Amino acid sequence: MTQYTAKDFKKGQPRWCPGCGDHFFLASLHKAMAEIGIPPYETAVISGIGCSSRLPYYMNTYAMQTIHGRAAAIATGCKVANPNITVWQISGDGDGLAIGGNHFIHAIRRNIDLNMILLNNRIYGLTKGQYSPTSPRGFVSKSSPYGTVEDPFHPAELCFGARGRFFARCVATDAQGTVDVLKAAAAHKGASVVEVLQNCVIFNNGTHDYVYTKEGRAKHAIYVEHGKPLLFGENNEYGLMQEGFGLKVVKLGENGITEKDILVHDAHCEDNTLQLKLALMEGPDFPVALGVIRDVEAPTYETAVAEQIEEIKVKKPYHNFNELLNTNDIWEVK
């Protein structure tokens, strides 16, 4: 088997603003693809419109930059028509959750084996600074000079609501964390949603400040890992416990709490209740969850489509056009 390096997946000179989270993410994607080891020519990267959707131009794979919001639908057709191709869908928060929201939820619901990357900078960058469906209520932007009067989507909530089987989160500047979740997403058979928290240096600088630096993550992020207790803090001194219908942050050693009392992460649990709670945690009261939050196996759409075709081929007696004609009521004129 050929060993690949990040260079094998690289192409061209990215044109994003200096400091844009897309640069960091792209480097991690190249690295992850090399480690995954699927050849560039068996990989298709499909995007919509927006800053992040320029990404396929920097991939030495099969690629298509399409139209606004439709990446998930186009990626779906590609995967169904040729399940042997590994398909990555690249969308931003506007592309994926606003204009493309319908395709986003239905690709997840069908559980098509796509790696669906959602680069979330909570802003429209390419059109120069309008609020997005993930901008918080009251957000001031060019199209909301007095603040928005609407609530944002939480991508995880939407994913889980569409019966998502895989949800992971990373921060663009965290190379290792990003590579890890991308590899996990690729390994998962089915629709894998990865929310990438990234900064827009021009129009929404600092939106993810809380976790954007290494120091910030050390304090405010929790790296969740299947089978491991949900501990966080600079010295793992904090943990998560269940309380009533929710979660609570506890400090080890206080009130007699030991590591044994801490909730152990179960990414494979069918019931997504606690996984959703993890995914929705926000500062300042809670840490931001990073890593693979949900990873549950389920039949994939494209496999089921192919299996049904094989099954019907056995059941039905006609396998070419002429045989199809003969299934009709036919009369002969002599």
Partner 1 sequence: MAEKIEVKELEEVVVRFSGDSGDGMQLAGNIFSNVSATVGNDICTFPDYPADIRAPQGSLTGVSGFQVHVGAEKVFTPGDLCDVLVAMNPAALKTQYKFAKSTACIIIDTDCFQKSDLEKAAFVTDNPIEEMGIKQDVIAAPITQMVKSCLEGTGMDNKAMLKCRNMFALGLVCWLFNRDLSVAETFLREKFAKKPEIAEANIKVIHAGYDYGHNTHSSVSYTYRIESHAKTPGRYMDISGNKATAYGLIAAAEKAGMHLFLGSYPITPATDVLHELSKHKSLGVTTMQCEDEISGCASSIGAAFAGALAVTSTSGPGVCLKSEAMNLAVITELPLVVLDVQRGGPSTGLPTKSEQTDLLQALFGRNGESPMPVIAATSPTNCFDAAYNACKIALEHMTPVVLLTDAFIANGSAAWKLPNLDEYPAINPPYVTEEMKDNYTPYRRNPETDVRYWALPGQEGYTHILGGLEKDGNTGAISTDPENHNLMCHLRAEKVSKIPVPDVKVMGCVDDADLLIVGFGGTYGHLYTAMEEMNKAGKKVALAHFSYINPLPKNTAEVLRRYKKVVVAEQNLGQFAGYLRMKVDGFHPYQFNQVKGQPFVVSELIAAFEEILKK
Closer residue to partner 1 (CB): 82 or 176: 82
CB of 11 to partner 1, least distance (A): 8
Q: Looking at the chain, how many residues does it have?
A: 334
Q: Which of 50, 67, 63, 55 is nearest to 24 (CA)?
A: 55
CB of 61 to partner 1, least distance (A): 6
Calculate Rg over the CA atoms of the chain: 22
CB of 182 to partner 1, least distance (A): 19
CB of 70 to partner 1, least distance (A): 4
Closer residue to partner 1 (CB): 12 or 299: 12
Cβ atoms 210, 134 nearer than 8 A: no
| C-alpha separations of 130 from 101, 123, 133, 148, 198 in Å | 17, 6, 10, 10, 16
Residue 25: both structure tokens together: 């993410």
Contact footprint for partner 1 (CB under 8 A): 12, 39-44, 46, 49, 56-57, 59-67, 70, 73-82, 84-85, 102-103, 106, 305, 308-309, 312-313, 315-322, 324-325, 328-334
Closer residue to partner 1 (CB): 78 or 279: 78
**224, amino acid identity:** V
Closer residue to partner 1 (CB): 11 or 226: 11
Cβ atoms 71, 91 nearer than 8 A: yes
Instruction: Write phi, then psi, for 189 (nearest 5 degrees).
Output: -90, 115
Residue 126: is it exposed, middle or buried by C-beta count within 10 angstroms (0-12/13-18/19+)? middle
**318, amino acid identity:** Y
Closer residue to partner 1 (CB): 86 or 272: 86
Closer residue to partner 1 (CB): 78 or 289: 78
- CA distance linking residue 45 with residue 64, whole number of Å: 6
- CA distance linking residue 320 with residue 141, whole number of Å: 59
Residue 128: both structure tokens together: 């120069």
- CA distance linking residue 211 with residue 221, whole number of Å: 6
CB of 170 to partner 1, least distance (A): 25
Strand, coil or helix: what is 288? strand
Closer residue to partner 1 (CB): 99 or 274: 99
**How many other CB atoms are there within 10 angstroms of residue 77's CB atom?**
12
CB of 327 to partner 1, least distance (A): 9
CB of 271 to partner 1, least distance (A): 26
